[in-house]
Chain A
Amino acid sequence: MSAGIGDSSTPLDKRDERWQIRIRGINKTFGPQHVLRGIDLDIERGKTNIIIGGSGQGKSVFMKHLMGLLVPDSGQIYVDGQNIVGLSEVELGKLRRKFGMVFQYAALFDSMTVMENIAFPLLERYRLPTKAVEDRVWELLKRLSLEKVPGIAAKFPSELSGGQRKRVGLARALIDRPEILLYDEPTTGLDPIATKNVDDMIRQTADEYSVTSVVISHDMQSAFRIGDRVSMLYEGVMAVSGTPDEVRQSDHPVLREFLEMSGMGAKPGLQPVLQPVLQPVLDGAK
């Protein structure tokens, strides 16, 4: 059985109580580049699932498949028992209401204020009174400790710091109470304190809202601090998958290199064959 597949006897096309997203054999190529090479992975419901891997391994490409932003060349992706591969744009639109996504650089709409950005999903999906929408936005701003920033609601994204943008991006992803939250490299470009704050925010969000979180990261410290499950994407497949403790025990050489260079459990006698490749990645993550 592949590393990423969880133990379940439920058929893939039926809702499983434990595994919310079940991915089987997805392949994706861009021209001559074979980015995903038959990925199998189960995403646990209500938990924080971390996908780690070096730069250029296809982590973001993989994440975009989960909500149908990219279509795999082959393979299936089941969300609550529904295969989303081959769904029409209208059906995908309905499916995407289950999801919220926090982008690497927040992807806030430049031409809109913070209030308009956060309210956007609600205004697009429902006809709600303005007061109700604004109340909901303020509730999220309070929860994410943004309400004390002077004039935050009327600010434009260009007037926010990197950490504030991430929080506004999270507020926008949360406003329609999604079941599944996807984070694309949420701590990239942040200093250690801001990284810790974002990690706490992800953990708190998962606990308070009981959402299934999928976090793409190359920050090993963060991954093991907040993850309930950790999987490693390497050369287009899930090389290792399990609880943080299980993953720490893995003998996979690349994972061991990752852990060693993050100062998280070197094994004696390991040859750092991949050091020249991985060191720049890890330096960038720090």
Chain B
Amino acid sequence: MAEEAAARRNLLVSVLSPFSAFVTALGAHIIMLASAFMWLFRRPFRLRLFLEQMEFIGVGSLPIVLLVGFFSGAVSSLQAIHALSIFGQERWVGVTVGVSLAEELAPVFAGLMIAARAGSGIATELGSMRITEQIDALNTFAVNPTQYLITPRLVAATIMVPILTMAFNIIGLAGAYLVSISVHQLDVGQVTGLFVYWVDPINYVKGTCKAAVFGLALALAACFQGFNVRGGAKEVGMATTRSVVTGSVCILVLDYFLIEVLNAIWPISGA
């Protein structure tokens, strides 16, 4: 009887433990976010740290974002032309690519690229600082590590990911233009005319809002993993991997919920 009860208890624990680990991790992330937000408004304000992080996350990620953006626009355009040609409606390619870039492709792909490049960099840097006691050293100088290390990275990512998303949009449209007008010889007046008429600034507002949330999420995942490393080089490597996985998964999961929220605020045109 006792054995049966113990087995039942073990089963319950093994079923609940992933859930409890998830809730614990979520709570720890929220606490870090709240703490970083609180320290944002406390002296001293170190503008240099914010600018350095904006340079690292934003300027440093620009080449890869532009490269991915150009080919995303070009490939989307190619696929859209093939699909629309079934109905003889290729002229809608500008609208199709424009809206999908603005609302989905640009924020999601830019977010994923930055999670891979800057997120991994953040996790590695903070992890190395942790295992070499540099974070403890900050404490000994009465410098709060959250204020010095976490807050600037969260703010920088929240600002820079939307800006990179806009760059992604622009270069993506250039790629789409090249494929549809230069390669497939579509009518420039029809394609651009429909684009200008149907693609709404609200599409870009939605994409930018999503990008800001993605930036915050990927930076938080990276900071959390790096800041909480215990052990040595192996653990830093594992934290880096986790930061990219967590950041990417967060972007894709949040994407779904953000679409619902943003569409409730700004209903889809014609709906």
Contacts and interface: CB of A to CB of B under 8 A. Distances in A.
Interface stretch (A100-108, A142-150, A191-199, A216-224): A100-108
A109 B141 contact: no
B133 interface: yes
| Majority SS at the chain A contact face | mixed
Given A89-B144, A93-B142, A96-B142, A109 B136 contact: no
B44, B142, B143: which has the most chain A beta carbons within 10 Å?
A: B142
Given A124-B44, A124-B142, 13 more contacts: A67-B140, A69-B139, A69-B140, A96-B139, A96-B142, A103-B133, A105-B132, A105-B133, A107-B132, A107-B136, A110-B128, A110-B134, A125-B142
A65 interface: no
A25 interface: no
A124 B143 contact: yes
Interface size class of A (residues with CB under 8 A): 20 to 34
Interface in B89-148: 128-129, 132-134, 136-137, 139-144
Contacts of A81: none
B133 A121 contact: no
A101 B144 contact: no
B133 A107 contact: yes
Contacts of A105: 132-133
A94 B141 CA distance: 10
B178 to A, nearest CB: 40
9 contacts: A67-B140, A69-B136, A96-B139, A107-B132, A107-B134, A107-B136, A108-B134, A110-B129, A125-B142
Interface of B: 44, 128-129, 132-134, 136-137, 139-144
Pick the 6 closest A-B CB pairs, nearest first.
A93-B142, A107-B133, A107-B137, A101-B140, A96-B142, A121-B141
B141 A124 contact: yes
A125 to B, nearest CB: 7
A97 interface: yes
Nearest to A95: B142
Nearest to A97: B142
A23 B139 CA distance: 21
A251 B244 CA distance: 56
